[in-house]
A = this chain, B = another copy of it.
Amino acid sequence: MVRSRMASMLSISVLLLLLLSWFTPISSHPLDPLTPAEIATVRRVILSSPIAVSSASFAFHYVGLDEPDKAQVLSWLHRRPPRRALVLARADSETHELVVDVGLAALISDRVHRGAGFPILTLEEQAAAVSLPLSYPPFVESVRRRGVALADVVCSTFTKGWFGEAGRARRRLVVACFVAGETVNLYVRPIEGVTVLVDLDEMRIVEYRDRVAPPVPKAEGTDYRASTKNLPWSKPGAVLQPAGKGFQVDGHFIRWSNWEFHLSYDARAGLIVSLASVHDAQKSTSRRVLYRGFVSELFVPYMDPVEEWYFRTFFDSGEYGFGLWASPLQPAADCPANAEYIDGYYAGQDGKPVKLPQVFCIFERNSGDVAWRHTEFGFPGQLIREVEPEVSLVVRMVAALGNYDYVTDWEFKASGSIKVVVSLTGILEVKGTNYTHADQIPAGLDPHGSLLAENTMAIYHDHFITYHLDLDIDGSNNTFVKSKLKPTRVTGGSVPRRSYWTVVREEAKTEADARVEMGSVPAELLVVNPNKKTKMGNAVGYRLISNSAPAASLLADDDYPETRAGYLKKQVWVTPYNKSEKWAAGLYVDNSRGDDTLEIWSQRTIENTDIVLWHTIGFHHIPYQEDFPVMPLLSGGFELRPSNFFESNPLMNSSATGQVYTTCTCIA
C-alpha cells in the first residue's frame, strides 16, 4: 500500500533546473547512476522527439541507467561504453521503452511494449488519483454518513493486481481512504467498506461502491510522534573515532578495509551494490565477489479474500518503485552520528530530475562484538588471550512504501563476509471491523487477522524480499554447488560408533537443479569458481547462510497472485547472467500476468558460466498487539561468507580498517 508523496517531495526536494547543453559531462564510471544533468538531457531528447511531440499525453514512468553489458563494464578502462539511459514512458496510453544515448544526446531506440503489464506508477499520477475521491459526491456522502470530517480524510493508492481478466488491460487502481484527524497515523483508521476504482489514463473514478460501514477506529493511542509523548525517545551514545573515519567515498566508489564497491541509486531497485571486490593480502591482489546486488522485488500479499482486500497483493518494487519511495535518512537517528550520506536523483513524471537527499548512509559499525578470539589455557603459567573487536561497514537505505518501512542494510566485514539484513518497521495495514473484543468473533469464523485495537483487524500477510545477487566469485564463470549432508552407517565394525554424516557435493547443471527450498534438506549452498583452486586444491567459493527462518509462498499454484510470483515457492534460484533479467516478477509488473518472471526464464544450463543467484528473505506476518500503532523492528537476512575463497582467515593478514582507533573509556 502506498501513499502518493508527490506533494511532500516537492516541499523537501530541490528540483534542479539545469542549463541544458549539448555537452553532457562524461560520468566517472559506467555504472554510476544518471546525474541530474544527464536526466535533464534525457528529458530534452525525449520531449523533442516525435513520440512526445505527437502525443496528446506523455509521462515518464522510469528513467534510469541503461546498464552496459557486463563485459563492457569489466573492460571499460580499455574502451568506454556509451552512456545510455533507459526510459519507460506512457504516450497516448501506450508504453514505450526508449533508450537515449546521453553522450550523443540522441534517442537511439523506441520500442512499444505490447505485452502484459505496465511500468511503475508515477508519484504524480498517484497524487492526482488520491485527490479524486475528495471531490466525488458519492464518496463525500459516504464520509459524511460515517460522521468524519472531509478535511481529515487522506487517501492512498492500492494496485489492483491481475485476476484472470482477459483482453486489453487498463491502468486501474484502487484508492482507499483513511482518517487522520487527531493522529498522523492514518493507516490504522481506515474508511472500510468503500471501494474507489480509478482509471489512471483517464484520471477519473470509474467504479464506486460503499458496501459496509464498520466504525472508523479511534485516534487515541495511535500517534507515534515524540512531540505527542511526554517521554523523549532514547538517544544512542555517540561513537568516537579520534583517528577519523576508516572509509573513503570516491565518486560512487566506497573503499573500506579490504573492501571496495560501487554504490548507486535507482528509482526501481533503490540501493545497488556493484563491483564489490575484496583485497587479498596474501595474494596482494583485489578479487571479485559481487558484480551487482540489489532488491529485485518485494511482494506483499494479504490474506483476506473479502471484496475490499482480496486484490491486495503488492509488488512494491515493480509497481511502486523501491527506490522511488526511499526516505531521506535522519542523521543521528536512522544512522549513527558517525555516518556519511549520499543523495539520489530520480526523474519526475515530467522528466525533470528530483533530488532525494540523504538516500543512503554509510557508517562504520562498532557493535561491541568480536571479529574472532581465542583464550588458550594450555600453557602452564600463561594466559594467552587474543581478541579482535569487530568493526564493519554498513550501507543503508530505508524505503517507506506507504505504511511499511523497510530498512535494508549491506554490511561488509573484513573477514570477507557480506551480511544483508532487511528489517520491517512502520505501520500495519488494518481493516475496519465492528469487533471491539476477540470474544465477539463467532467460533468457526475466520477473522483473517488479529484484533489489535477496537474496530481494528490487522490482516495476515507476507513479505518476500527477493535479492538479485550477481556473484562473480574470483571471476565471471561460476558454478552453484549444494554440499548435502548425508547420514551414513559405519561399516566394518572396527569401532563401536554406528553413524556419522558426510558431505556430498552436487554441482547444479541446469537452473532446475538449483531451485532450493531452504531447510528441506540439510545442505550448504555455495557459488564456486570451478576454475580456481586454493593451494590445498579446494574450489574457491562463497556460501549463502540464512539468518532467518525460511518462508515460502503458501498460495495455491492456480491462484493469480501465485502466477505472478511463482518464484516464491523456492528461496533460491540460479540463472545465467542476462543483462535484461533484473526483475524477478518481470519488467512490467503492474497488471502483470506472470509471463516474464524468474520462474518462466528459468530453464537453462548454468554450469561454469556467469551465473546470478536469487535469494528471497520471507516473513509470514501474523500481527500482534506490539505491532500497533507502529511496529518494532523485525529483522531477517543472510550472509555471503567466503568458503575456501581465501587460503586462510583474512583477519590474520590485515586489520579491519588499517588504522588504530583509540579505545579510551570515554564514559563521562
Contacts and interface: CB of A to CB of B under 8 A. Distances in A.
- Which of A237, A489, A558, A665 has the most C-beta atoms of chain B within 10 angstroms of its own C-beta? A237
A334 B495 contact: no
A240 B241 contact: no
- Which of A238, A325, A368, A503 has the most C-beta atoms of chain B within 10 angstroms of its own C-beta? A368
A221 B562 CA distance: 53
A238 B496 contact: no
A87 to B, nearest CB: 24
- Count of chain copies: 2
Contacts of A305: 490, 495, 497, 500
A230 B644 CA distance: 24
A483 B449 CA distance: 13
Contacts of A549: 518-519, 545-546, 550
Nearest to A234: B656
B330 A448 contact: no
Nearest to A524: B622
A328 interface: yes
Nearest to A224: B386
Interface stretch (A114-122, A200-208, A291-299, A376-384): A376-384
B554 A235 contact: no
A307 interface: yes
Interface stretch (A21-29, A53-61, A389-397): A389-397
Nearest to A257: B234
A499 interface: yes
Contacts of A668: 240-244
A333 B370 contact: yes
Given A499-B562, A626-B415, A648-B626, A633 B390 contact: yes
Interface stretch (A5-13, A37-45, A93-101, A343-351): A5-13
Contact of A336 (B243, B325, B368, B647): B368
Nearest to A312: B497
Nearest to A651: B632
B502 A330 contact: no
A666 B626 contact: no
A443 interface: no
Contacts of A550: 519, 549
A112 interface: no
A655 B503 CA distance: 49
A620 interface: yes
Nearest to A499: B556
B372 A241 contact: no
A536 B373 contact: no
A123 to B, nearest CB: 9
A485 interface: yes
Contacts of A649: 626-632
B221 A648 contact: yes
Interface string A314-338: 0000000000010110101111111
B369 A633 contact: yes
A265 interface: no
A643 to B, nearest CB: 4
Interface string A218-234: 00010011100101111
17 contacts: A8-B381, A11-B383, A164-B496, A186-B378, A224-B372, A231-B655, A236-B661, A239-B240, A334-B373, A336-B368, A363-B368, A371-B632, A374-B400, A417-B632, A439-B537, A489-B556, A625-B648
A646 interface: yes
A663 interface: yes
A30 interface: no
A603 interface: no
A656 B633 CA distance: 14
Contacts of A330: 385, 387
A4 interface: yes
Contact of A661 (B226, B238, B546): B238
B646 A231 contact: no
Given A5-B377, A439-B537, A626-B642, A389 B332 contact: yes
- Which of A184, A231, A558, A667 has the most C-beta atoms of chain B within 10 angstroms of its own C-beta? A667
A303 interface: yes
A601 interface: no
A83 to B, nearest CB: 31
Nearest to A490: B305
A609 interface: no
A185 to B, nearest CB: 8
A416 interface: yes
Interface stretch (A141-149, A266-274, A421-429, A506-514): A421-429
Contact of A625 (B405, B439, B647): B647
A461 to B, nearest CB: 9
Given A11-B382, A415-B626, A499-B555, 11 more contacts: A3-B377, A11-B381, A233-B655, A235-B662, A240-B668, A311-B497, A413-B632, A451-B536, A453-B648, A503-B622, A543-B624
A234 B364 CA distance: 12
- Sorted from nearest, which 9 A-B pairs have the closest CB atoms? A5-B377, A438-B537, A234-B656, A499-B556, A7-B380, A163-B496, A327-B375, A310-B497, A375-B400
B642 A624 contact: yes
A434 interface: no
A158 interface: no
A633 B501 contact: no
A259 B336 CA distance: 24
A334 B661 contact: no
A224 B375 CA distance: 11
Contacts of A588: none
A372 B558 contact: no
Contact of A366 (B239, B389, B495): B239
Contacts of A133: none
Contacts of A631: 372, 649
Contact of A389 (B333, B377, B543): B333
A661 B224 CA distance: 20
A65 interface: no
Contacts of A413: 632
